Amino acid sequence: AAPAPAAAPAAAPKAAAVEASPLRGQTVKMTRMRKVIGENMMKALHGQAQLTSVVEVDITKIMRMRNKAKDAFAAREGVKLSPMPFFVKAAVQALKAHPVVNARINDEEGTITYFDSENVGIAVDSEKGLMTPVIKGAGDLNIAGISKKTAELAGKVRSGKISPDDLAGATFTISNTGSRGALFDTVIVPPNQVGILGIGATVKRPVVINHPELGETIAVRDMTYLALSYDHRLVDGADAARYLTTVKQLLEAAEFEAELGL
């Protein structure tokens, strides 16, 4: 018998068209919002001893759970189920066990305030620049509550209806830097906080896992990096590692079935 014809090679994906920006060659006035963002970033960097620690997390269970639950969740709750609420939920649960990351240094008084609530700033990209509305009492919310509040605040930012109160009172911040493809960033801790968690892009990669029957084997898994930037004046490297390890354990265990009705 004649040999089967070789399969045709897959066509290489075409590069996206890149168009020149109308800003090329222009000098424009810096917007008030851009000035405020810049001043806050400089204040944060100059007023703190900032350092970043990174861990790698296998979120395969989270992604499978989300895919299984997302249609029923959207019908029941009225918002889409993105991966973000899982990260927020794990992050705030870990803050309860590691309050040193959910704190504020009161420089003038020489004291430290350890917060008894988790008010989480969520970095949102907008045409006016990066804004950080706050989910108040995030530690008391379930996945649905976090999803609804995140969607509400992001909608306010992008429609220009965000209020000063919506942007105030954060004790900790989370930035989904991977939403545009970055593997991880050395995110900047905002003023009056001591920690910010950066969530990198989720990438499918071959990883060595411990299979119950096969032992150590290679499998394709959904992997992401979590980067915690922190103020080293209060948070030691061991503190940061313990916090990140707790977040990693919560995400990899993925015990959210009850909240999702699975």
Active-site positions read 232, 236
Closest CA to 240 of 224, 227, 223: 227
Query: In this structure, which amino acid lies at residue 242?
Result: R
How many helices (H) and strands (E) are present in the chain, helices listed first? 6, 9
Alpha-carbon torsion (150, 36, 101, 83), positive or negative: positive
> Which secondary-structure segment (H or E) carries 90?
helix 84-97
Q: How many residues does the chain have?
A: 262
Residue owning tokens 């066990």: 97
Residue owning tokens 């590691």: 98
